[in-house]
Amino acid sequence: MAGPADRVDVAIVGAGPVGAALAALIAPTGRSVRVLEARGGPSGDARTLALSQASRDLLESAGGWPASGVTPITEIHVSQKGGPGRTLITAADQGLAALGYTVAYAELEEILAARLAARISWGAACEAIDLEAGIARLRLAGSGTVEARLLVLADGGANARRIPGLAYSEKDYGQVAVTGPVHADRPHRGRAYERFTSRGPVALLPVGERFALVWTATPAEAARILALDDAAFLAELQAHFGDRAGRFIAAGSRASFPLKLRSVNTTIALRTVIAGNAAQAMHPIAGQGLNIGLRDAAGLAGLLEEDPKGDPGAAALLESYRLGRRRDAGRGVAFTDFLVGAFMDGRRLPTWGRGIALTALDILPPARRWLADRMIHGAPRS
Ligand SMILES: Cc1cc2nc3c(=O)[nH]c(=O)nc-3n(C[C@H](O)[C@H](O)[C@H](O)COP(=O)(O)OP(=O)(O)OC[C@H]3O[C@@H](n4cnc5c(N)ncnc54)[C@H](O)[C@@H]3O)c2cc1C
């Protein structure tokens, strides 16, 4: 735990992948950085993340890319249940070696934690924040205090309410993601599947020899699915998803995550930056959340690097961060929300309309490239 009145240049609340990657990017620049994490150690979170090449490059430069356990995604198959049309986005089509990579949240956590070593204070939950013109002061669970010239909230949204002027807008999709490993009777060959259903999207991501499943359902349905034995679970998944990925033959332990869209009204406050899920948390349908959060981290680290001796919490630097991140984050939120709504809300786009859209995507390379760019990079490639 951090000692009383510890003084650092940058204090980051949250050692999730965004906070930890940011700290790993800042640490070599000579600024003192401290990461305060409420948990007593890595979470071992079971979720699988699909990350873009740009996210991989960034994590590699932070020394936070796992040496093993990474699976390239070479194709994404997109379809809808109960309607026509499907499209296949391939890496070859896009002139890329891979559309992205799957990696375990827990792996990222471990490698970044090892990289940061003593810069992380485990079990240091931020309980109070006091912002002054020259310093941000944090009170931690127990009696510790940390003072920093720049405070970064990368805590998934736990502490923004402690800061005057910050507020969240929320949209509850009324959905829960059921996740877990699933084995099929044929090799995936790097293909990911995204299947839209009126009850929510289902995704299968290739991981090693198996898939990672993300099955969205209403909270009641999710509770029922979680309680099924493996045989019943596999039979229901097969009926819901169909046989395009083969026959499902084994499943591992399942977890669940409630799904909401939540955005903060501004990503800066006095001596404070809000990054990652603390700034924008979204539905996992398009695999945007961490990719955007890592770009938050890269954006802030880049600004700090431009003026290595300057005040890291200076108002002008914070305003540059806010302006620099506004468009990218806003687009990611809007694209994700559009996908969720278009495929669930029959009034927004009827089944035949979605079929035409998927067919058009399949036969029109520029349209497919548009979707691919947003799914892979979160934005058009320049
Ligand atoms: C099922 C699912 C699948 C997903 N798939 C993808 C995907 O394929 N691709 C993608 O890009 N994104 C995906 N996401 C989104 C991705 O997981 C998040 O965007 C990412 O985890 C955000 O990282 P973060 O570091 O901002 O926050 P978090 O991962 O939420 O970490 C926040 C950290 O802050 C700590 N904390 C909280 N309160 C305090 C406090 N008071 N004091 C100190 N520490 C505190 C927490 O313990 C935690 O460690 C998915 C999400 C879900 C739920």
Instruction: Write out the DSSP string of 33-50.
Output: EEEEESSSS------EEE
Tell whether the model's pLDDT for residue 82 goes beyond 80: no
The structure tokens 């003072």 sit at 147
Highest mean pLDDT among 94-103, 112-121, 358-367: 112-121
CA-nearest residue for atom 11, ligand 1, is 290
pLDDT of 4 higher than 80: no
With the most atoms of ligand 1 within 8 angstroms of its CB, the residue from 25, 145, 290 to mutate is: 290
Cα(341) to ligand 1 centroid in Å equals: 23
Least confident of 10-24, 57-71, 229-243, 344-358: 344-358
Q: What is the dihedral of CA 20, 25, 26, 28, to 10 degrees?
A: 120
pLDDT category at 233 given cuts 50, 70, 90 is very high
Architecture of domain 6-64+104-169+262-340: 3-Layer(bba) Sandwich (3.50)
Predicted local confidence at residue 170, as pLDDT? 94
Q: What is the pLDDT of residue 237?
A: 96
The pLDDT score that the predictor gives to residue 375 is 62
Task: Give, using CA atoms, the residue closest to atom 30 of ligand 1.
Answer: 156
- What is residue 354's predicted lDDT score, i.e. its pLDDT? 56
Pocket probe for ligand 1: among 45, 70, 277, the residue whose CB has the most ligand atoms within 8 Å is 277
Is the pLDDT assigned to residue 311 strictly greater than 90?
yes
Per-residue model confidence (pLDDT) at position 83: 62
Least confident range from 23-27, 96-100, 211-215: namely: 96-100
Burial of 143 (0-12, 13-18, 19+ CB in 10 A): exposed
Ligand 1, atom 9: nearest CA belongs to which residue? 287
Lowest mean pLDDT among 4-13, 269-278, 335-344: 335-344
User: What mean pLDDT comes out for the span 279-295?
Assistant: 91
pLDDT at 48 (0 to 100): 93
Domain ranges of the chain: 6-64+104-169+262-340, 71-102+170-259
The answer to whether 185 and 243 have CB atoms below 8 angstroms apart is no
How much distance in Å is there from the Cα of 241 to the middle of ligand 1?
Answer: 27
Q: What average pLDDT does this structure show over 19-40?
A: 96
Please determine, for residue 2, whether its predicted confidence score (pLDDT) is greater than 50: no
Question: Ligand 1, atom 35: nearest CA belongs to which residue?
Answer: 14
Provide the pLDDT confidence category of residue 331 given band limits of 50, 70 and 90. confident
Of ligand 1's listed atoms, the one at least distance from the Cα of 278 is 26
* Helices 17-26, 105-116: inter-axial angle, 10-degree rounding: 30
Residue written as token pair 């093993």: 68
| pLDDT-derived band at 365, boundaries 50, 70, 90 | low
Q: What is the position in ligand 1's atom list of the atom closest to the CA of 20?
A: 25
pLDDT class of 382 with cuts at 50, 70, 90: very low
**3-state DSSP: the chain helix, strand, coil percent, rounded to 5?**
35, 30, 35
The predicted model gives 266-280 an average pLDDT of 98
Assigned fold of 71-102+170-259 = D-Amino Acid Oxidase; Chain A, domain 2 (3.30.9)
Task: Give the range among 179-183, 285-289, 360-364, 365-369 with minimum mean pLDDT.
Answer: 360-364
- Residue 29 and residue 274: Cα distance in Å, rounded? 21
- What strands lie across the sheet with 71-73, from one edge to the other? 48-51, 100-104, 71-73
pLDDT of amino acid 356: 57
Q: Which residue's CA is the closest to the ligand 1 atom numbered 50? A: 284
Least confident of 89-103, 304-318, 338-352: 338-352
Range in 111-125, 136-150, 325-339 with the lowest mean pLDDT = 325-339
Q: How far apart are CA 203 and CA 371, in angstroms?
A: 16
Digit-coded pLDDT (tens) for 196-230: 887 788 999 999 999 999 999 999 999 999 999 99
- Position 285 scores a pLDDT of 80
pLDDT category of residue 87 using cuts at 50, 70 and 90: confident
DSSP 247: -
Winning range, highest mean pLDDT, from 99-108, 147-156, 337-346: 147-156
- Cα(231) to centroid(ligand 1), Å: 31
C-beta of residue 147 within 8 angstroms of C-beta of residue 7 = yes
Average pLDDT over residues 349-365: 57
> What atom of ligand 1 comes closest to residue 52's alpha carbon?
11
* Ligand 1 first shell, C-beta below 6 A: 13-19, 36-39, 47, 49-51, 125-126, 154-156, 158-159, 177, 179, 214, 257, 276-277, 284, 287-291, 293
Mean pLDDT of the chain: 89
- Closest by CA position to 226, among listed 169, 177, 184, 290: 177
Give the residue from 220, 229, 228, 186 showing the smallest Cα distance to 204.
Answer: 186
